[in-house]
Amino acid sequence: MLPTAIPFRKKAIPHAQRSRIFDTFLRLVEQFQPYHESIDSIWRFYLKVNHKWQSIVVQKYQKNYFVHLRGRETISYPEREVSVETENLIKSWILPLREWKKESFRNPVQAQSELMRKLPMELRMGLISRKNMQRLLPDWMPISEQLKTKEKQKLFELLLHSDPEPLPQMTLDLYLKYCKFAYQANPTTFENTLFSDKRKFEYGLSGLEYYKRYADGRHGGLLKVDSKSPEAFLKWYHSSEWQGSHPWEIYRGGNSTHISLSVSEHRYKPGWTVDLTAFSSTRLVETCRIALAFEKEGLSFNLNHSGSYLKRILAEDWVGILPTDAGIKYGWHLFPEKYNVADCIHLDWILEESKARRLTRNQLKHLVSWLPVEVTSFPRDSWSNFG
């Protein structure tokens, strides 16, 4: 399994244009034994190009190649046009790759060992405990400090609760009752400039008024449902009217930074489940306060990611370290699920804040739990030539 995700679209490219430089590079790549993921062949190289290390991944699907270089758009080949810029980039890799072939084919183990000694930490993936992060970078993600002591005490009890019993029925009125307390739990959120409605938050409004003012807006016909009828809600829920809409996005945000309050039929028992969901740590405190408001009002609900929330608040989880040129936003996706990574950083963030940069750098070498690095280094065996 690859330690990092490599997204691309698998499709044939008609009327492809050949490039002599690209062909030379790929013939060299093909001399190495690839890794395999399903029917794809994967090669991963760390090359020093013009005094700068680069991580280069080549992926082959059927007869098409996809070249991934962090910080750049994926290059597909063959393709209709190969730009001069692309050819120059590929050309710069050929000599370092030939040097790597010479070293690794002579002694693959020694070559890998020497590479790992030279490879900068900034190109590797690793894990560091949140407690260590709090010590090294105190201003980063101060989750626990944002919650009051009484809030944390109540949260610890709430986060350890088992799944609640399903609600016997669901109506729009009941859903909007939940919404009312969800919005009142975080009044300052809605005075933030991220929201289009700049009015000062008002207490005492109905759930419907709050929802119209602060929810995503693409309700998919939810607000047209007979508000007191369980049958009307059930009919709407099973209709296709709200497909592609966002009726449950009560706190606006991006794909990973919104807060959802969703309703669904219980998996195993008759009735309904209300799920409060927000994975991003940037919304964790707000979500916890919504959960506390529901608990206070006696509203049955399920808080998704509660185990992860508890570990984050107690600083007992792992923080992911990503290569400097890798994106942070969805970085947690790149780590094996067993580590339950929710937040990621770049090492530069720590080093830039350190007054003793060299000492801190040396400490991090041993403090971080580094993930295995797949390096292409063995000559291709004839029996493995199925890619």
Could you read off the pLDDT of 124-150 as tens digits, one per residue? Answer: 999 999 999 999 999 999 998 999 999
Nearest Cα to Cα of residue 76 among 90, 95, 92, 88: 90
- Please write the tens of the pLDDT for every residue from 277-331: 999 999 999 999 999 999 999 999 999 999 999 999 999 999 999 998 888 888 9
- Please write the tens of the pLDDT for every residue from 169-178: 999 999 999 9
Query: What CA–CA distances, in Å, run from 221 to 232, 237, 240, 241?
Result: 11, 10, 10, 7
Question: What pLDDT band is residue 383 in, cutting at 50, 70 and 90?
Answer: low
- Please write the tens of the pLDDT for every residue from 40-58: 999 999 999 999 999 999 9
- Please write the tens of the pLDDT for every residue from 144-158: 899 999 999 999 989
Residue 196 or residue 111, greater confidence: 111
Extents of the domains making up the chain = 20-122+373-384, 165-300
Residue 17 has pLDDT above 70, yes or no: no
Q: Mean of the pLDDT values across residues 245-274?
A: 93
Average pLDDT score, the chain: 90
pTM of the model: 0.85
Q: Extract the tokens encoding 112.
A: 């890998």
Q: What is the pLDDT of residue 5?
A: 46
Q: Mean of the pLDDT values across residues 158-172?
A: 89
